[in-house]
Structure 1
Amino acid sequence: MSVRSLSATLALSAVLLGVGAPLASARTSTYELPGDPVASGGSKFEGIGHDVRTQRFYVSETTGGEIHRGSLRSAAATEWLQGDGTDGRWTARGVTVDSHGHVYVAGGPNGIDHPGAPDLWVYDRDGKLLAALPTGVPNAFLNDLVIGPDGAAYVTNSNAPQVFRVAEKHGRWTIRTWVDATATIPTQSGFNLGGIVLSPDRRALVVAQGNVGKLWRFDLRTGRVSTIDSGTADLVNADGLVQDGRTLWVVRNSSRVLTTLRLSQDGRTAQLVNATATDPQRVFTTAKLAQGRLLLVDSKFDEPVGLPPYQVVALTPPRR
């Protein structure tokens, strides 16, 4: 075992419960991602989607916008969609997959850096482009996505307190501003709204505002936005969110911590369960739950040039 692999295994087994109790049940493995050679600038990554039906996962590359696809049964992913301007995509952030196998890709600053370019794309399982959508909203940074109970995708804007809704009707795909919470959520310096999941009762969205360490509840029926009471939990640098029943895992990127919360059924409160130190040599951005394990994206955001190996790390997450 390499020094790095040993370090990763040991770091992922440390649970911060105030006394540093070990997480004896942790089980880790890695999936290799393709990427650009270091001489060409290397690669960095952010989002991940999981297709429950096929047990495939999709990872976005911020440096170029490539989308890579892997299988839980294979140690290495392959490039699925080219980047560098393919379908107007030079970068990519959040990824999610709906029950029909549609793969949604959020473009982050794609439309900012390339005015007039799409902010979001939808593909089928075969990689056929179904939609390339601009929001029409200035300075929109589309970050993360979740599929709602209505089958639509809900997408966060990290540059403003907005959530967009992406839907298809009679073969026509649209994106619109679903809720603008400017009157409720102050925009702060840095990345604002990011990770997004459903509340356990599926009647609301739970959204992270990582720069200030807050969680927000967006009511799916009324659009009303309110603060989620998370008690004493430190959620600064909250990035990706993963929800399973009443368990909510918060991936706190540069803090290098995976925080576990217990949500109320309606998503109005969240109680701290534990905080798990992650590998100090990695910055995880987000994750998806697949066959009982979390698949975490090693972003390489802490490196001036993203150096291989490029990986997704899988581990059995803490629950209590």
Structure 2
Amino acid sequence: MARMSGVLVAVVVGLSLVTAAPATAERAHPFPTEFSLPDGFRPEGIAIGDTPTAYLGSLADGDLFRLNLRTGRGEVFSQGPGTPSVGLKIDDRGRLFVAGGTAGDARVVDSRNGAILKSYQFAESGAFVNDVVITDDAAYFTDSSKPVLYKIAFGRHGKLPDTFSTVPLTGDFVPTPGFNGNGIAETPDRKALLVVQSSTGQLHRTVDGVTEVVDLGGEVLTAGDGLLVRGRTLYVVQNALDSVAVFTLNRAGTSGKLVTKITDPRFDVPTTVAAFGNRLYLPNARFSTPPTPTTAYQVIAVPNR
């Protein structure tokens, strides 16, 4: 996820539906390729599970938006706490794990009714909790201001614990001025994690916090943001470049080869990516556009390459 710029604009968004296309167009052309979000919403993260539903969080006030990918209709289903919602992921139990940015926290939300199931205060100040990945046994959050991961270890049957642990990042991961740890994903073999360091353009592989730089054949992930791994394919959103770099990784995630770069004239500082079927879905954060309560925001769908 990317760094926020400007003043957080508090936006009160009602529970009314937002429609990307007329009903007749929905029947004729299901699965639109562009989706409207509420004005002033300021999207950053996106999560998609096994159904054609996307979930997005607002940087403005933390509201959560549920979007039907088949019809283009959506609604705010969970009111935010007045602080940002940044990266988010959904697990197979329908729980949304939401990174809280400058609030230094995270919350777990029921994707059906918007109820908060659990909250965690990782840091009191100086943090930017940015992105999250869910593994079989834990959820891990990055902090772009501190060289750590925050780990929520699941109990039996995925039970949410009352506490969390902080995992220092050591080895090749060296903090530099600017945004550091950002997007996070599992390696193809699911034995390690991948973390992009925005300030250096490096991709790191980490096990229990010990990191090593992934060999990408000399490719530098300038403006590296959200990550997505599907099979052995890695997608890296490069927000300010309006581009998605696509790599083929080895199973261990220690090396990768650039395959292509996805661009689209509709991109306007996309921050991260999620997938459903043969499409990728990216929210336009529009960081180069001053945010106002009437600024328009969209989600863009492109073919999965």
TM-score range with shorter-chain normalisation?
A: 0.7 to 0.9
Shift of 1:290: 0.9
Cα deviation code 1:62-100 (max 9, x no counterpart): 0111110111212132111112x3xxx421100100111
Q: 2:122 maps to which residue?
A: 135
Q: 2:300 maps to which residue?
A: 313
> Does residue 266 of structure 1 match 2:249?
no
Q: Which runs of 5+ in 1 are unaligned?
A: 1-26, 36-41, 112-118
Q: 1:49 maps to which residue?
A: 47
> Does residue 206 of structure 1 match 2:208?
no
> Does residue 238 of structure 1 match 2:228?
no
| 1:173 match: secondary structure | coil
Q: TM-score, normalised by structure 1?
A: 0.79
Aligned mates of 1:230, 1:190 — CA distance in 2: 22
Percent identity, aligned pairs only?
33
Q: 2:68 maps to which residue?
A: 71
Q: 2:97 maps to which residue?
A: 104
Amino acid across the alignment from 1:30: E
Aligned mates of 2:239, 2:218 — CA distance in 1: 19
Amino acid across the alignment from 2:230: D
Aligned mates of 1:65, 1:137 — CA distance in 2: 18
Aligned mates of 2:201, 2:246 — CA distance in 1: 14
Aligned mates of 1:49, 1:248 — CA distance in 2: 16
> Does residue 194 of structure 1 match 2:182?
yes
Q: 2:139 maps to which residue?
A: 153
Where does 1:18-37 land on structure 2 (aligned, <5 Å)?
29-35=33-39
| 1:254 match: secondary structure | helix
Aligned length: 271
Aligned mates of 1:267, 1:172 — CA distance in 2: 28
> Does residue 166 of structure 1 match 2:152?
yes
Amino acid across the alignment from 1:188: T
Q: 1:205 to 1:294 in 2, by over 3 A?
A: same
Cα deviation code 1:158-203 (max 9, x no counterpart): 1112111123437553453442015542111221111111100010
| 2:67 match: secondary structure | strand
Amino acid across the alignment from 2:52: Q
Root-mean-square deviation over aligned CA pairs: 2.0
Shift of 1:51: 2.3
Aligned mates of 1:215, 1:172 — CA distance in 2: 29
Q: TM-score, normalised by structure 2?
A: 0.83
